[in-house]
A and B are shown apart, each in its own frame.
Chain A
Amino acid sequence: MAIDIQPDRAEAPGGRGPGAPRPARAWWLRPAIHTGIIGAVLGYFLGHWLGNYIASGYSQVVNSGQNDFAIILGYALGTVGWLAGLGVFNDLGRQIAGRPIHAEQEVQAASSGLARYFRYSLDHKVVGIQYLVGMIGYFLTGGLLAMAIRTELLSPSYHVFSSATYTAIVGEHGTMMMMMMSSIILGPLGNYLVPLMIGSKRMAFPRIEALSFWLTPAAYIVLLSGLMFGGFPFGWTGYAPLSVQATQGADAYAVAFGIMGLSLILLGFNLIVTIICYRAPGMRWSRIPIFVWAIMTTSFLMVLAAPVLVGAMYMLITDRTVQTAFFTDSLGGSSYLWQNLFWFFGHPEVYILALPGFGIVCEILPVFCRKPLFGYRVAAAGMVGVTLLSFFVWQHHLFDSGINPDMRPVFMLTTELISIPTGFIFLVGLGTFWKAKIRFTVPLLFALGFYFNFLIGGISGVFLSDVPADTTEHGTFFVMAHFHYTIMGGLIFAFFGGLYYWLPKIMGIRLNQTLGKIHFWTMFVFFNSTFLPLFAVGMAGQPRRVYTYARSLETLNDWVSISSFLLGVSILIFLANFVYSTVIVRVREEGNPWRSRGLEWQVASPPPPGNFARVPVVLSGPYEYGVQDAPPVADLDPPLGVLSNADASVVTEGAEA
């Protein structure tokens, strides 16, 4: 059901009141990041005071001298203050007061250049870039923490960090990467590209979109603030009752994860509605780019899984503050409850971190193979299949835990079944290679790297799905290597592939290809050199999250540590390339450098405000490479009146259309 009516100009959502445009105020009076910070600080101290006032001497936890209730209230009101300072509630307040909403977009259009990236912007392209910068920042933070972990593991006996600091670093690294990185593709590339790819001028809910981004810096700061309380000693999984007995770092964990959960729900919800309701005429389900299918399925995972996470975090918070006992066994709770809730979110979460990667490689391959995507429907079905199955596998994290042990064969089956739809992505890739004309550009190299790494990650996952084999591998570096292969080797490689592919579109600037190739090869070699030995380390008996280990494994661990530092250097090469290409050299790239048929490439780079001058009419699928007499992908300037009967004027695109 594509929309058939579009205003000629993008309008501020919510309608525009009759009042005259307000004169723009001076920059420091308009809400932006600085007012947000003021709001956050005020909110935190207000919440902290209130918490102490209400619960003084009540939930004071032994050994800490801090009031959990005050800290959590501080975080909560600090976040609200941050959003209020950014102006998130301004239009809401105006509507409640019955006053006209002033045309925010006009104010923003007036604000020049960089300033709009520091504001609560309703432009999906601005939000996409905000997300991009934010996500790269979170990724680098997590990466530095990873290298700190590897520094400690250089020696089993000489310690750089105390075990307390080390556990705190492990927790921060894991949470930063698994939680803050959840929207690494949907945030930047999803928000930026989905409207362009489906022929829409905007996202469905611009305010929700902007809110979903501005929650992430709050979560980031809250998460890092846990370090001031000594961090949290339970990794990213936060198993109760360890997380209930831990000190105030655990509050930061619970609040930050909860905020990020809200952000994921909002992000996914907005993308789902946009994809369903804002497609251009002729953009049928059989024509939307496969990347959009990936975004769509991932969004459903976010919307359905993240509420469980938010609920679990809320229960943890009440356990820690108002002494409920959801997870305390001796008071009628159960530590199993946390494990079930957490992994009911946690397993869909790892597919949230895999599906967008599938979408990107499937999007990149046809362009550089100069062939249609092999089995478009198979790829879409694979993504839908992974989405559905991912809600039925979470107990494989608990094979040794003693929960419903007789059900383990069932979860072994569902876990192994999920490798069938995942295999579709490989079928699609291999089929697209058949008799192709492969161009070894940087995006394609990253897509190949994705396939190589995800193959190893996927196959090792089959080993973990088998209960007897899992008994040896569970909780060891084998698991750790497995999910780094699927997430770092899969998602992050796909992410960089996507960046090299779409940054010319987003910034209108070409990234240096030689540096890009150096980046790829160093990253590929040192990634594998870091994580392949870890399978052996795990099989040899090294548990996860240890600061010391068997002396006999020192050589392997040293190899891994040094490789991981070089892997960090390869990320620096990317940053150098980014700065070099966008600041120093600036080679303009206005057209369609990859000769792609994607709808997003049919407009100028960077896309004009409003994306399309007129709502385009989509005429054929995006992968019709080599098809003789294939119609152009879309009519960007459709004659008036064509919108109403666009679906009737279908151009045949193949036997099955």
Chain B
Amino acid sequence: MTATEATVSADAQRREPNHGLRIFLIWLPVALAADLIIWFVWGPHMPPGDMSSSASSQQFDINVMAVMAAPVMAFILIYAGYALVVWRHREGDEEDGPPIHGNTRIAATWIGVTAALVLGLFVFGTVELVVPAGAGSGEGNTPIWKPSGGTPLQVQVIGQQWRFTYRYPQFGGFETTSLVLPVGENVQFNVTSLDVIHSFWAYQLGVKADANPGINNVAYTKPEHTGQVQVRCAELCGLWHADMTTLGHVVSDSAFSAWASAAKTQLAALTRNLPPYALTYDPNSVAQLGKAFRQAGLSGAGGQYYGPQYPVQP
């Protein structure tokens, strides 16, 4: 495509206002204002908050991308709005527009700018994924991006229809339905499932990891404030998927120790009946789990386990 605008005479061009400059001058303050508002007013309240290291890294990512996206959106909308006002068809004008088939320079600039934005985002996203130890996302059974400093607190998350339970192997491997975490300590979630695919989503912690049967999916985070954590299932897992929610708690270090040792003693009888702690469980060999649950007055999966070959739901 040649960029010829030969049909537009030089005179007409001189009388034409500089549309590009006009669009730029409208765009610049809008883009600036949008970015400042996004970063300083909206940004601190952007989900998922800053309760943990991974949550704040996600919040930072979302803010950075919003700051990058706003000028792009503003440019396209302002350009289109300008075009619709200035270059709309006037009554009685039956002429066709100027025959511009393309413009290599503009196309190259466009491609260059979008490519630079995209590659920048890629580098940024990769750094943001690797440096905060996976940014709270599920990293499979052999994570390569781990937090520095000693062994993190191990918390096993077991998904089953339709409940999450948690095992604490460093405290004798007791299993409980409450998620309690100490503040200021690295946590390693080992997420697995006994039946179908679930997704462990601790919203305020910025942690999301799929719970796959037979697979250990690891996610790291470090709670930085005490408070409540909403845990939900983020992968459709059947009939009561929506009800697969619990409330977790991030508490002080001493409160956690007190809770953990109390739970360990209280649940000792139950723990003896559980299968030994492992990273994954073969659902066909944990039949005693249901028995253990009933003893403790719990009801995971309706009080008993059933294999994938036994459907119990529509």
Contact = CB atoms under 8 A, between A and B. Distances in A.
Interface of A: 61-64, 163-164, 167-168, 229-235, 237, 239, 241-242, 244-247, 249, 328-330, 335-336, 369-378, 398-406, 408-409, 412-413, 416-417, 419-420, 423-424, 426-427, 429-431, 433-440, 448, 451-452, 455-456, 459, 462-463, 465-472, 474-476, 539-541, 543-550, 624-628, 654-656
Contact of B98 (A371, A430, A469): A371
Nearest to A371: B97
Contacts of A541: 47-48, 203, 230, 232
A400 B210 contact: yes
Given A241-B213, A434-B83, A233 B314 contact: yes
A170 B220 CA distance: 33
B25 to A, nearest CB: 17
Contacts of B47: 472, 539-541
Given A167-B314, A247-B311, A330-B283, 18 more contacts: A231-B314, A246-B238, A371-B96, A399-B137, A400-B209, A400-B210, A402-B191, A405-B140, A412-B125, A429-B80, A438-B87, A463-B66, A467-B128, A467-B129, A471-B136, A471-B207, A475-B201, A540-B47
5 contacts: A167-B236, A416-B125, A438-B84, A470-B137, A471-B136
A241 B118 contact: no
B273 interface: no
Contacts of B58: 468-469, 471-472
Contacts of B214: 329-330, 335
B11 interface: no
Interface in B77-100: 77, 79-80, 83-84, 87-90, 93, 95-100
Contacts of B114: 419-420, 423
Contact of B102 (A61, A375, A546, A625): A375
Contact of B135 (A249, A471, A656): A471
Contacts of B314: 164, 167-168, 229-233, 246-247, 249
A419 B84 CA distance: 25
Given A330-B284, A419-B118, A543-B201, A233 B313 contact: yes
Contacts of B50: none
Interface stretch (B170-178, B240-248, B259-267): B240-248
Given A164-B239, A246-B313, A471-B207, A375 B107 contact: yes
B88 A406 contact: no
A345 to B, nearest CB: 18
A378 B242 contact: no
A625 B57 CA distance: 51
B257 interface: no
Contact of B99 (A371, A416, A417, A423): A371
Contacts of A628: 7, 99
Interface in B113-172: 114-115, 118, 121-122, 124-126, 128-129, 132, 134-141, 143-144
A409 B122 contact: yes
A232 B59 CA distance: 36
B282 A330 contact: yes
Contacts of B139: 402, 405
B115 A372 contact: no
Interface stretch (B31-39, B291-299, B302-310): B302-310
A426 B76 contact: yes
A376 B1 CA distance: 8
A245 B237 CA distance: 11
B199 A400 contact: yes
A466 B61 contact: yes
A374 B102 contact: yes
A15 B157 CA distance: 67
A459 B72 contact: yes
